[in-house]
Copies of this chain bind each other. A is one copy, B any other.
């Protein structure tokens, strides 16, 4: 009698429970595992031997995982100590766990590599399912979670833009998640599905942020059309590499920064004398079921199923990587990525995806990103002169 275990790591996405569903259903269909456990509370849950058996759930109830945000089994960010890997290997032995799937970001994939090594020779397979909102995991075209975070931001910016353009004289700054990588911020460019839609300016953390260039960009748009919609990454840094937002205060060793969007809106008010506001959807952007990308959800489920399949075949120390198919139309295949390569580098936007002035993205980014957002947005009603992008 042997069992399969799924463990979550790091922050959740809109589709991490989709990967969980895929893995559980694949394990059920395979029939080999006696129990299909989820660790309650990530690796902390493993160390405390807290498990939930998904075999007790009917299919109908399991399907609700597809529309549940957050992590249904709980996750953890607690760093593992050196002895913890051996401890977990012993817990696996104690509970007859032979197949282990870790679903998380860079840090969790690194944990996955170390755990696979600690389980070498013990007959335990350890496979990683990537998860991200930032799209910063290397060795994969993209990872589950990003497409939905991107769709959420693009859809939300698209709607906010309609609202802002209803009234004259207005600047709005929307803050996007992603402290080091601008993938989500960049996805806001896809808010523009028809002429006149979408944001005016995008600032990503890969380019040094200049207050002067920003104010100049906003001032020009304000003069031309009386408004500007700006999307800014929460992680903008200036030319020296320091965060653009002054620290709010220090608690111990941790510095707490204010919100980039609020800071930029205040800059506009103070320096240009123009009415401006800021929006920071924050966590809503990674918890939104309404704006899940159907493509992302499908890939998340399939990646979870693939991980279970590979573990049950005896593969270990690999992550389910997504490789984009070449040729007409969009599609992905799953490829095993050797985790011993080292997973702790964060992948940023390539330079060719950001425009020269550093306030927008290129069409090659849009072409790469568009399929990941899933189905087209519903059409809006626009008066004829809106097509030119002018304010009403």
Q: What's the nearest-Cβ distance from chain B to residue A58, in Å?
A: 11
So how many copies of this chain end up in the complex? 2
Contact: A71 with B166, CB < 8 Å? yes
Task: Give A71 to B382 CA distance when docked, in angstroms.
Answer: 10
Cβ contact of A68, chosen from B40, B72, B162, B259, cutoff 8 A? B162
For A47, what are the chain B residues with a Cβ–Cβ distance below 8 Å? none
Query: What is the 8 Å Cβ interface bit string for chain A, positions 291-305, against chain B (1 contact, 0 not)?
Result: 100000000000000
Contact: B277 with A282, CB < 8 Å? yes
> Is A2's beta carbon under 8 Å from chain B?
no
Query: What is the 8 Å Cβ interface bit string for chain A, positions 60-81, against chain B (1 contact, 0 not)?
Result: 0110110111111111110000
Asked, given contacts A167-B77, A383-B40, whether A67 binds B159 with beta carbons under 8 Å apart, the answer is no
Contact: B73 with A392, CB < 8 Å? yes
Number of interface residues of A (CB under 8 A): 68
Chain B residue nearest in CB terms to A265: B256
For A67, what are the chain B residues with a Cβ–Cβ distance below 8 Å? 378-380
Q: What's the nearest-Cβ distance from chain B to residue A240, in Å?
A: 25
For A159, what are the chain B residues with a Cβ–Cβ distance below 8 Å? 69-70, 284, 287-289
**Ordered nearest first, which 9 A-B pairs have the shortest CB separation?**
A70-B162, A74-B392, A279-B282, A71-B166, A159-B287, A290-B290, A163-B287, A70-B166, A64-B381
